[in-house]
Amino acid sequence: MRSLFFLVLISVCWAEPHPDNSSLEHERIIHIQENGPRLLVVAEQAKIFTHRGGNVTLPCKFYHEHTSTAGSGTHKIRVKWTKLTSDYLKEVDVFVAMGHHRKSYGNYQGRVFLRESSENDASLIITNIILEDYGRYKCEVIEGLEDDTAVVALNLEGVVFPYSPRLGRYNLNFHEAQQACLDQDSVIASFDQLYDAWRSGLDWCNAGWLSDGSVQYPITKPREPCGGKNTVPGVRNYGFWDKDKSRYDVFCFTSNFNGRFYYLIHPTKLTYDEAVQACLKDGSQIAKVGQIFAAWKLLGYDRCDAGWLADGSVRYPISRPRKRCSPNEAAVRFVGFPDKKHKLYGVYCFRAYN
């Protein structure tokens, strides 16, 4: 129930003559009206933008309609934050507060608390943002039998990139796709993230998994091998496929990082194993695919030297297109998956900051 009601009962009686019996029949007329102002929950902003490693406040305030009071004073206020999923019947518990009792859940433990800048402030502060925090959150306030909700979207600044393993295109089921992104310092992208990337110019002809289990791909330049040259630009949707049996590529999403990405200056070119050891010797680790994309997109990193990455691929980031270095577009150029034991390249390393 959203409001308390009181009932005014009025009995109306009359006698109707009956050949065999004389009796009273009663009819009740019920008048219903709301008892007091309705509880309202409001988010001052529908979307919040942040980045990995940052702190953010998801706004939420509650009050009673046509009044400035936060609560009735007769019931304790219960505040519950949940994260919505692509399955609208499921929600992930984030944080619950009632009186002096507080509880956080899952990987939010130790990172979330209420701002409580005023008696009607139910805003949630999330610290040390991680990639998995991206999504839509629901703030629910309950007072007695009244409750109301508001929804806030938490967006992360970052980059979407297509990924396929050494085995080649269309070799990942959904669960393998999720793990492939995690292995490259990223998470599987959502449709909204892919759509934003498409609007920013991402064009890729291979279909890939998204976080909701759909398979899609973004086209900015329609052409015959990619849906036909007479079609309109857009995000092509293959629909939902069997997560265990169907195999596609994947679109991953990553954000900025707390560390240093760099090309290791080394006197000679290296095999893959030598590249791994060279980064370790320099106090770092061989960089991951998500890190080269984040450095390129978010930091403008530019280097025309091909280098090994952790998955055994060789790539190089170009933010300033020029002759012999991606002359037509800014991009992370993909050389391939060379023979790890015999091919020689440079290496990109990553050193995390504590």
> In this structure, what CATH number is given to the domain that contains residue 101?
2.60.40.10
Residue 146: give the domain boundaries: 39-64+76-156
Report yes or no on 183 lying in a domain. Answer: yes
Q: Nearest 5°: CA angle at 31, between 29 and 37?
A: 170
Report yes or no on 22 lying in a domain. Answer: no
Which contiguous run of DSSP H or E holds residue 241? none
- This prediction's pTM: 0.83
Q: Based on the domain organization, do 308 and 244 belong to the same domain?
A: no
Residue with tokens 């990223």: 186
pLDDT in tens, 14-61: 334 444 444 333 333 333 334 556 899 999 999 999 999 999 999 999
Last residue of a domain, one of 156, 176, 197: 156
pLDDT given at position 162: 98
Report yes or no on 19 lying in a domain. Answer: no
Q: Based on the domain organization, do 239 and 335 belong to the same domain?
A: no
Are 349 and 259 within 8 A, CB to CB?
no
pLDDT band of residue 67 (cuts 50, 70, 90) is: low
pLDDT given at position 268: 97
35 vs 248: which has the higher pLDDT: 248
Residue 44, SS3?
coil
pLDDT in tens, 283-314: 999 999 999 999 999 999 999 999 999 999 99
| Residue 330 belongs to domain with CATH number | 3.10.100.10
pLDDT given at position 8: 33
Report yes or no on 4 lying in a domain. Answer: no
Domain total for the chain? 3
Distance CA 306, CA 316 (A): 5
Q: Based on the domain organization, do 333 and 308 belong to the same domain?
A: yes
Q: Based on the domain organization, do 145 and 172 belong to the same domain?
A: no
